[in-house]
């Protein structure tokens, strides 16, 4: 948080005597939308917990507290024990992350960007970049979960978390899902989505329209194991969408016809 107008990290003591870290934000971000989105996520969690199939799979959306003071200021709960995906994969210097540690012989992040910008045939450039910039997300689990049982459970929790959050994000048109806006819990491997200001298909109105429904890059898939998007991920996506569809009156009451 080095910039002048950047959010400020503060520590507060609660009535229970414990110290809590929070993020004080002011500027162009309207935290009221973030607060509404978190309320929606909590409602989704209620239905996921009450449905047998999704409850057995422990499907849920990781939430955090958002308290708006004004349209442009408020505080956000600091999600302890997490790291942005971008920081893990690329590092704060864009060379010290997992790609730098494990991508021996691969292009750097900056080389990929420069090559893509310089080439006219973007599809051909993208395919060449894929051949020279391999996914490394699976190393996250090998580094942090040393026992086979812990490794398996963390990868399962990660895949389920990505599936549930992707489907709910798709339903509400959540955009701006770059790698710094997705955190990963270093203890459970669940993902946490932050900065929810671009929603309800607002991403389609940006200078460069966001046309993908959710983030499912090669690194995201790499963390799911050998089956990739098949198996656990696909089934959890289907179950999450089914729960939302079966409870659409609760989620979207104004869209339900009366005649």
DSSP string, 44-55: HHHHHHHSHHHH
The pLDDT value given to residue 68: 95
pLDDT digits (tens, 9 = 90+) for 69-112: 998 899 999 999 999 999 999 997 766 899 999 998 999 999 99
The pLDDT value given to residue 253: 63
Asked if pLDDT for residue 255 goes beyond 90, the answer is no
**CA atoms within 13 A of residue 129's CA, in its CB half-sphere:** 19
Buried b (16+ CB within 10 A) or exposed e, 129-150: beeebbbbbbbbbeeebeeeee
Whole-number CA gyration radius for the chain: 19
Asked if pLDDT for residue 252 goes beyond 80, the answer is no
Are 219 and 135 spatial neighbours (Cβ–Cβ below 8 Å)?
yes
Instruction: Kindly state the average pLDDT of the residues 39-52.
Output: 96
Asked if pLDDT for residue 215 goes beyond 80, the answer is yes
* CA pair distance 154, 163, nearest whole angstrom: 14
Q: Is 61 helix (H, G, I), strand (E, B) or coil?
A: coil
The pLDDT value given to residue 29: 79
1 band by pLDDT with thresholds 50, 70 and 90: low
The pLDDT value given to residue 256: 43
The pLDDT value given to residue 93: 72
Four-CA torsion 79, 83, 85, 88, nearest 10 degrees: 180
Average pLDDT, the chain: 92
Q: Is 25 helix (H, G, I), strand (E, B) or coil?
A: strand
List of residues 6+ apart from 235 with CB closer than 8 A: 57
30 band by pLDDT with thresholds 50, 70 and 90: confident
Are 62 and 48 spatial neighbours (Cβ–Cβ below 8 Å)?
no
Give percent of the chain with pLDDT exceeding 70.
94
**CA atoms within 13 A of residue 105's CA, in its CB half-sphere:** 1
* CA pair distance 244, 49, nearest whole angstrom: 12
Per-position DSSP letters for 171-211, written without gaps between them: HTT-----TTSEEEETTT--EEE----S-TTGGGGSSS---
């Amino acid at each position: 948080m080095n910039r002048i107008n950047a959010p400020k990290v503060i520590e507060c003591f609660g009535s229970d005597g414990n110290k809590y870290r929070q993020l004080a934000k002011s500027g162009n971000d309207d935290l009221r939308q973030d607060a509404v989105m978190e309320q929606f996520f909590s409602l989704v969690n209620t239905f996921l917990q009450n449905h047998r199939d999704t409850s057995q799979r422990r499907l849920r959306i990781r939430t955090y507290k958002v308290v708006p003071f004004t349209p442009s200021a408020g505080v956000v709960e600091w999600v302890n024990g997490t790291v942005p995906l971008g920081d893990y994969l690329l590092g704060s210097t864009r060379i010290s992350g997992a790609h730098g540690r494990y991508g021996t012989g691969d292009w750097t992040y900056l080389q990929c960007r420069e090559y893509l910008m310089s080439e006219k045939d973007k599809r051909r450039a993208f395919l060449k970049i894929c051949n020279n910039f391999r996914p490394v997300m699976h190393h996250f689990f090998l580094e942090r979960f040393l026992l086979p049982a812990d490794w398996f459970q963390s990868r399962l929790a990660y895949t389920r978390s990505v599936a549930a959050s992707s489907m709910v994000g798709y339903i509400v048109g959540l955009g701006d899902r770059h790698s710094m806006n997705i955190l990963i819990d270093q203890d459970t491997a669940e993902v946490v989505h932050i900065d929810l200001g671009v929603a309800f298909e607002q991403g389609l109105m940006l200078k460069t329209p966001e046309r993908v429904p959710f983030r499912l890059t090669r690194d995201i898939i790499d963390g799911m194991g050998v089956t990739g998007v098949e198996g656990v991920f696909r089934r959890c996506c289907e179950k999450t969408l089914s729960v939302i569809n079966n409870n659409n009156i609760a989620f979207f009451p104004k869209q339900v016809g009366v005649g």
